[in-house]
Amino acid sequence: MAIEDDVLVIGGGLAGATAALTAVEEGVQVRLVTYKQSTLRHASGLIDILGYTPGGDGPIVDPFEALSALPEGHPYERVGTEAVRDALSFFDEIAGDAYAGGHTASNALVPTHGGTVKPTARYPVSTAAGLATVPKDTLLVGFETLTDFDAPLAASHLEAAGAPFEARGVTVAFPGIVRDDAKINRYAHLLDHEETVQAGAGETSAREALAATVDANLEDESRVGFPAILGDEHSDEVRADLEDALGVDVFEVPMGPPSLPGMRLEDLLYDALSDAGVRVTSGVPVIDYESDGDGAIDHVVVDRHGQEVPYRAEQYVLATGGLVGKGVRSERDRVFEPVFDCHVPHAAERYDWFVEDVFGEQPYARFGLVPDRELRPLDEDDEPEFSNLRAAGGVLGGYDYAAEKSGAGVSLATGYVAGGRAGTEASR
């Protein structure tokens, strides 16, 4: 017996979750299989559509306007601008109050932990009060034990970048943290659970102690930015309490990996999957497949610690990520996609996979599958590899998400299209 469903999505990141959520709307049974935790945990939690053109121009004000100029083969070109809009609305519905930015088609500018500003289409509500376009003087607060965020440096970068307000940074001790390398969820846990900490003369709750520490450093700034560690499960409550105590707006500055806003987005998506009745199998890899001999995939093989368990569906979506997520892998002499061995175009000579200039146009950044307009991966002869396989997100090639700031948008749009097609086909 195989474990049977109508649609099987392989990969549990933004693209995979979106594909599963879209497919299940067609009234079919959907399963999502994911191996290691997704690179969402590395992600800022921001939803970028397009921040810069592939040529490097930007920041772009209206991403949708820029989409039509993208070259053939770019994932956005494959699915079309309307699908990108629909996918974003679909995300807005799932995210509800947790995300802001839905009222405008323009990019917002969100300050990052390095003091740069990032053009993004949707942002967690926790970062909303910090937008760089809002002319409010800003105090950035860093912590001695959290070296990834140097608040004074980030503040001076913001000013140097021409932000329309004054920014000042201070570094303080986080009440209750002693370790030099405490984990970010240790900070979040202290605030979430209002743990008791030693502060000055006596004991007080972590939230109160933090507010008191910051209050002593607050001058006439009307908003305060913290690194994104303000709680996990109860982050809205933590932020509201700090705002009450300080009497100013409080926001989070997105951080590098590991990232709580990324984890909160992951939680949001997995709650949605569970509510929608998508079955999730995690912690085990899809390692192989059997074809039905007729150009379609019959079933895939999941390795459950030694047992090879067949999972069968009518339609499959591959959303295993790019080089970082290991949906695309490389060896010394080849670049390949490890589950179905779909075609990944690349130069035969390894030294042609990259250019000397680190920030130049790196060929490896665009490695991935080439899909048709239905997002079916194509083989060397431009024929679909399988009739019932679609691909979405980082596993697709033809775009450089890091340079374009388009990672989340491509995952949403291609996940939406691939999942929708898979769901429709399977419901026939």
The amino acid occupying position 246 is L
Q: What is the DSSP letter of 252?
A: E
- Residue 359 CB, nearest distance to other proteins (Å)? 20
Instruction: Decide whether 56 or 283 has the Cβ nearer to other proteins.
Output: 283
- Residue 294 CB, nearest distance to other proteins (Å)? 23
- Residue 281 CB, nearest distance to other proteins (Å)? 5
- Residue 118 CB, nearest distance to other proteins (Å)? 20
Chain residues in the site for other proteins (CB under 8 A): 1-3, 35-37, 39, 41-42, 177-179, 181-186, 189, 193, 233, 257-258, 263, 274, 279-285, 287-288, 302-307, 309-310, 324-326, 329, 331, 336, 338, 341
- Residue 67 CB, nearest distance to other proteins (Å)? 30
- How many residues are there in the chain? 428
**DSSP string computed for 342-380:** ------SSGGGSS-SSTTS--GGGG-SB-B-TT-PBB-T
Instruction: Decide whether 136 or 186 has the Cβ nearer to other proteins.
Output: 186
Instruction: Decide whether 77 or 288 has the Cβ nearer to other proteins.
Output: 288
Instruction: Decide whether 331 or 380 has the Cβ nearer to other proteins.
Output: 331
Instruction: Decide whether 223 or 264 has the Cβ nearer to other proteins.
Output: 264
The three-point CA angle 101-106-110 to 5° equals 60
> Could you give the CA distance from residue 209 to residue 206 in angstroms, rounded to a whole number?
5
- Residue 1 CB, nearest distance to other proteins (Å)? 6
Radius of gyration, CA atoms only, the chain: 23
> Could you give the CA distance from residue 382 to residue 409 in angstroms, rounded to a whole number?
25
Instruction: Decide whether 38 or 138 has the Cβ nearer to other proteins.
Output: 38
- Which residues lie closer than 8 Å to 340 by C-beta, 6 or more apart? 289, 297, 318, 377, 385, 386, 389
- Residue 372 CB, nearest distance to other proteins (Å)? 25
- Which residues lie closer than 8 Å to 103 by C-beta, 6 or more apart? none
> Could you give the CA distance from residue 333 to residue 347 in angstroms, rounded to a whole number?
10
Instruction: Decide whether 325 or 415 has the Cβ nearer to other proteins.
Output: 325
Instruction: Tally Cβ neighbours within 10 Å of residue 70.
Output: 20
> Could you give the CA distance from residue 231 to residue 128 in angstroms, rounded to a whole number?
16
Which residue has tokens 């339609």? 315
